[in-house]
């Protein structure tokens, strides 16, 4: 269970205002899609949710507690690219989180505990269609497989909140539909809250239960950095795909 | 006719092409040597190939009249021991320090500038200090090699650490990794092939420092021998010794490359 509350949030870099006065409450198990012009601060917002950037003013609360100022297991992240580990096989990627949590000193599991972890990982790999590729290294995977692996690696740790920054932006249009089914299925079965940035408005309507549009309310042509973006539209979506995915 | 940059040799011709410079050098040597010897039969500068071979055989197979030792093996063992110990120390040091500086911002702030300055000290200028402080024995020679190559290796490795995509480090943290787990499961495994790479690059300097130290104070060793016989213009000893050192260095490099490929297949792009 995770409710996210954002109160009067501002973010500035030097004298450039990126985000101004963001207020938001997101209920548990919501699928929030975020769109907005390039440079409107979407990634910055996600970074603050993740804890790698701190707000200049305002508060970010998960279940009424301030968000930890560094990444932790509550919040999973899938970047557009570069987040896989070149030295780990597909199987090792999925095991990694379980090993971090199960073995804080050696970082590896042995014996029956490893067997249990491998079983869990196999199940995960099956559900993202990577079981056949479990001995391959990232360099041997296609772009779509890499993103599925990155998602699986985060989801197996059962984060309350999953953050996705244009996860399918670099993929062929042909395979994004498969990826949509995959993410909807995981969202349904694991009951996470998802925040996903996308450039594709259609995608945001198809996947989300709620759509946020980031844009500048005020604009000063003389000094464009004087005003930041806020949430200009907050649209609840009746998600048809949701019932479809749960029926499947 | 395709452009020159698009002409690639076949495997067999590539092999022949790579042998070409070696053959050329050999031919130039034989011609120059025989010209000089025809002029003056006692010339010592460029001995005939046969002389080089027989001297080398004598050094490699026959015991020395004075000491009763087989000199080539005595020298080789002494030198290899020194350089191997030094390389092990340098590798371990640079892995630890390079990693700390590369991954932990506080340690980078504290020691980064120091390492940068330290790597600018000309190691040979420190040699007299080492001899005074540590004596003329093995310790000072090994220390010279370590001082000579470690700072550069540390800088290389910490640079590589910093080049790791931040996405990777953030992802690992979001999977629950502590700093320690991040280091042992994410950073070290990716740094090991880099470490072997850095080691290979510093082999040449390591040999340079070894031979310099041996030339100045030693009683055996490949560098010692070369500088000893220099007094008698014994090119028939020096040239085979130089070839032998080159061969040893090349073999070490080749072994490290093979090891790296075996241990880290994922690192081959
Ligand atoms: N570390 C930083 N230092 C200074 N300015 C930054 C920093 N990170 C982002 N910015 C600025 O903040 C603004 C918003 O950047 P952000 O990456 O959040 O945009 P975005 O909405 O994700 O854009 P895109 O759709 O292109 O990914 C940009 O103008 C950018 O220049
Ligand atoms: Mg962005």
- Would you state the pLDDT for residue A239? 65
Instruction: Look at residue A247 in the predicted model and tell me its pLDDT.
Output: 40
Residues of chain B with Cβ-Cβ distance to A83 below 8 Å are 165, 167-168, 170-171
From atom 19 of ligand 1, which residue's Cα is the shortest distance away? A39
- Residue A117 confidence (pLDDT): 96
Task: Enter the tokens of residue A66.
Answer: 């301030």
Q: What is the ipTM of this complex?
A: 0.91
Helix/strand/coil (H/E/C) assignment for every residue in chain B = CCCHHHCCCCHHHHHHHHHHHHHHHHHHHHHHHHHHHHHCCCCCCCCCHHHHHHHHHHHHHCCCCCCCCCHHHHHHHHHHHHHHHHHHHHHHHHHHHHHHHHHCHHHHHHHHHHHHHHCCCCHHHHHHHHHHHHCCCHHHHHHHHHHHHHHHHHHHHHHHHHHCCHHHHHHHHHCCCCHHHHHHHHHHHHHHHHHHHHHHHHHHHHHHHHHHHHHHCCCCCHHHHHHHHHHHCCHHHHHHHHHHHHHHHHHHHHHHHHHHHHHCHHHCC
Per-domain residue ranges of chain B:
76-268
B201 touches chain A (CB under 8 A): no
- Among the bound ligands, the one closest to the CA of A214: 1
The segments of chain B whose pLDDT lies below 50 read: none
> Which chain A residue shows the shortest CA-CA distance from B164?
A82
Domain spans of chain A, in order of start: 1-74+162-248, 85-158
Query: Which residue among A34, A42, A54, A166 has the greatest number of ligand 1 atoms within 8 angstroms of its CB, and so is best to mutate?
Result: A42
A219–chain B nearest CA distance, Å: 33
Protein residue whose Cα sits closest to atom 30 of ligand 1: A39
Q: Which residues of chain A have pLDDT under 50?
A: 240-248
Q: Assign residue B220 a region (left: φ > 0; alpha: ψ between -120 and 50; beta: otherwise).
A: beta
**Is A157–B185 a contact, with Cβ atoms under 8 angstroms apart?**
no
* CA terminus-to-terminus distance, chain B: 32
Chain A residue with the nearest C-alpha to that of B179: A104
Question: Which residue's CA is minimally distant from atom 5 of ligand 1?
Answer: A13
Predicted TM-score (pTM) of the model is: 0.88
Please give the distance, rounded to the nearest whole angstrom, from the Cα atom of residue A140 to the centre of ligand 2.
Answer: 27
pLDDT of residue B103: 95
Question: Which pLDDT value is given to residue B179?
Answer: 95
| Residue A62 contacts B, CB cutoff 8 Å | no
Distance from CA of A240 to the nearest CA of B (A): 31
CATH for B76-268, among 1.10.3720.10, 1.10.260.40, 1.10.10.10, 3.30.379.10? Answer: 1.10.3720.10
The percentage of residues in chain B with a pLDDT greater than 90, rounded to a whole number, is 88
- Shortest-distance atom of ligand 1 to CA A166: 27
Q: Which residues of A touch B266 (CB under 8 A)?
A: 86-87, 137, 139
To test the ligand 1 pocket, which listed residue (A9, A13, A198) has its Cβ within 8 A of the most ligand atoms? A13
What is the per-residue pLDDT for A227?
87
Alpha-carbon torsion (B8, B11, B15, B16), positive or negative: negative
What is the model's pLDDT at position B269? 63
Residues of A in contact with B171 (CB under 8 A): 77, 79, 83, 150, 153-154
Predicted confidence at residue A2, as pLDDT, reads 84
What is the C-alpha separation between B203 and B164, in angstroms, rounded?
A: 25
Domain A1-74+162-248 CATH class label: alpha beta
Pocket residues: Cβ below 6 A from ligand 1: A 13, 18, 36, 38-44
């Amino acid at each position: 269970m995770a409710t996210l509350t954002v109160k009067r949030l501002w973010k500035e870099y030097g004298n450039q205002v990126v985000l101004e006065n963001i207020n938001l409450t997101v209920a548990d198990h919501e699928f929030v899609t975020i769109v907005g012009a390039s440079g409107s601060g979407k990634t910055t917002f996600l970074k603050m949710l993740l804890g790698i950037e701190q707000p200049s003013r305002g508060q970010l609360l998960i279940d009424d507690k301030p968000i930890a100022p560094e990444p932790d297991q509550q919040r999973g992240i899938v970047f557009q690219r570069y987040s896989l580990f070149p030295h780990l096989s597909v199987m090792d990627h999925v095991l990694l989180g379980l090993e971090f949590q199960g073995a804080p000193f050696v970082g590896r599991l042995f014996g029956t505990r490893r067997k249990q972890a491998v079983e869990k990982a196999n199940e995960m790999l099956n559900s993202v269609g990577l079981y056949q590729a479990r001995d391959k290294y990232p360099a041997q995977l296609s772009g779509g497989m890499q993103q599925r692996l990155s998602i699986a690696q985060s989801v197996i740790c059962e984060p309350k909140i999953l953050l996705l920054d244009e996860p399918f932006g670099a993929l062929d249009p042909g395979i994004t539909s498969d990826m949509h089914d995959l993410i909807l299925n995981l969202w349904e079965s694991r009951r996470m809250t998802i925040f996903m940035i996308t450039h594709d408005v259609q995608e945001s309507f198809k996947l989300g239960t709620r759509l946020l549009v980031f844009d500048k309310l005020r604009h000063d042509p003389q000094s464009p950095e004087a005003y930041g973006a806020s949430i200009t539209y907050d649209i609840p979506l009746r998600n048809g795909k949701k019932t479809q995915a749960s029926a499947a | 006719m395709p452009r020159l940059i698009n002409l690639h040799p076949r495997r067999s011709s590539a092999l022949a092409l790579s042998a070409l410079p070696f053959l050329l050098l050999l031919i130039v040597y034989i011609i120059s040597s025989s010209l000089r010897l025809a002029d003056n039969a006692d010339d010592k500068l460029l001995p005939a190939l046969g002389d080089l071979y027989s001297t080398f055989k004598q050094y490699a197979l026959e015991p020395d009249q004075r000491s009763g030792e087989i000199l080539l093996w005595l020298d080789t063992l002494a030198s290899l021991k020194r350089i191997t110990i030094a390389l092990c120390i340098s590798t371990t040091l640079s892995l630890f320090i390079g990693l700390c500086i590369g991954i932990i911002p506080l340690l980078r702030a504290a020691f980064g500038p120091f390492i940068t300055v330290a790597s600018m000290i000309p190691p040979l200028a420190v040699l007299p200090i080492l001899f005074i402080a540590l004596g003329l024995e093995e310790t000072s020679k090994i220390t010279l090699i370590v001082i000579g190559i470690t700072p550069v290796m540390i800088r290389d490795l910490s640079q590589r650490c910093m080049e790791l995509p931040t996405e990777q480090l953030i992802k690992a943290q979001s999977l629950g990794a502590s700093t320690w787990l991040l280091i042992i499961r994410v950073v070290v495994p990716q740094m090991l092939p880099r470490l072997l790479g850095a080691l290979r690059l510093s082999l040449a300097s390591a040999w340079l420092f070894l031979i310099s130290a041996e030339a100045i104070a030693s009683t055996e060793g490949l560098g010692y021998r070369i500088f000893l016989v220099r007094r008698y213009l014994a090119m028939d000893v020096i040239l085979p010794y130089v070839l032998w050192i080159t061969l040893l260095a090349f073999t070490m490099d080749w072994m490290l490359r093979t090891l790296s490929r075996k241990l880290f297949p994922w690192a081959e792009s």
